[in-house]
Amino acid sequence: MIANLVTKPSRLIIGLMSGTSLDGVDAAIVRVEGQGLATKAELVAYTAVPYDDKLREKLKELCSVEHSDVAKVCGMNFYIADVLADAAERAVAEAGLTMADVDLISSHGQTIWHIPIADESDWSLVRSTLQIGDLSVIAKRTGKPVVGDYRTADMAVGGQGAPLVPYADFILFRDEAKGRIVQNIGGIGNCAAIPAGGLPEQVIAFDTGPGNMLIDQAVHTLSDGERSYDAGGQWAARGKPDGAVVADMMSHPYFAMKPPKTTGRELFGKAYAQQWMERMRAKGLSDADIVATFTAFTASSIAQGYREFVLPAAPAQEVIVSGGGAHNKTLLAMLGDLLPELTVTTSDALGISSDAKEAVAFAVFANNFLFGIPNNLPSATGAPVPTIMGKLALPG
């Protein structure tokens, strides 16, 4: 079954991405040709399957030491796999295809916990990561081979297991004449700075910090659960950011750490958001001011990361934004104001859907897995060597 796939001129792969924003599953049907850095990927169809509020809140519990437990993780590992399988089947149906047309499924899984640096206070908390959504459940449900659980392989050879997408960013966005910074703004923000005509080892990539995560949490809390995100940045646009609060938040030690580095809900989750909302309330900030302040914090963390760790070594002319944050006009305007010498645009303007881009990336990862070609980017994750990431689950 697998051996036959590498002899085909192209493969139709479904990439499934469910990120730290916990907003749902992105399912991209991608036609992939070639292998390695010569890979070509064409988006055939894209479907977004949102999580409902009940599932989103359950997942937030699993991402919290105070509210998670082994039974909940065990059950959700299978439950979310069914959600992922549903997303794959829905994408195929909406594209007017059948599963018989599909060669392979690639799933990132849902991140529950990530420990990029060992906890010195507890010998058992070694460098590790956990993405749930059992691959065998997806394979048996869909009848297709499934590749997934990518991060663990990078960590096993000494990397931080993230960010992974810069490998695909290099393939999709490298330009001979322009230096580009590809910025994904999902729950967490991550960037990949690709010098003009650069080589893979010259890419500078890291998690810039919170993306939509804090904004979404504030909107959910302040709207009493009626909204899950700030559509178009409209709420933030009605408020005024508190510069002193932004400066205080920027003093978090994560932002001074040199790349490679990665983060998640462990540092910038619900408890962190609630702490800062309480402080802003005590200062008399309105709801709109609070959302605007979190939005300004995200923009500031991205811009500062560029100024300290990217631009001195990799001059750039463009910032290409993807992910849910690409739709937040207020956030993009703030980023443009902080980086006036750079052109801030979205991947849509270059013909690659900002919503689908990360799911497309995982289709690329699975394709390299088939050919036995390393699919991590050591300059991004800190791994000392390239390695083949992924595990395979067969349907039979």
Q: Is the CB of residue 338 less than 8 Å from the CB of residue 9?
A: no
Report strand pairing: 146-148 vs 180-185. Answer: unpaired
**Calpha distance 379→274 (Å, rounded):** 34
Confirm or deny that 109 is annotated as ligand binding: no
**Calpha distance 396→387 (Å, rounded):** 27
**Calpha distance 257→363 (Å, rounded):** 31
Q: Packing angle between helix 357-371 and helix 166-173, nearest 10 degrees?
A: 100
Half-sphere exposure for 252 (CA within 13 Å, toward CB): 20
Confirm or deny that 20 is annotated as ligand binding: yes
Cis peptide before 315 (omega within 30 of 0): no
Which of 66, 67, 86, 68 has its CA nearest to residue 78?
Answer: 86
Q: What's the DSSP call for residue 19?
A: -
- Residue 165: phi and psi, rounded to 5, are -60, -25
Q: Packing angle between helix 287-305 and helix 213-222, nearest 10 degrees?
A: 180
Confirm or deny that 23 is annotated as ligand binding: yes
Confirm or deny that 34 is annotated as ligand binding: no
Joined tokens for residue 194: 């690709």
Confirm or deny that 53 is annotated as ligand binding: no
Confirm or deny that 24 is annotated as ligand binding: yes
Return binding residues: 19-26
Return binding residues for ATP: 19-26
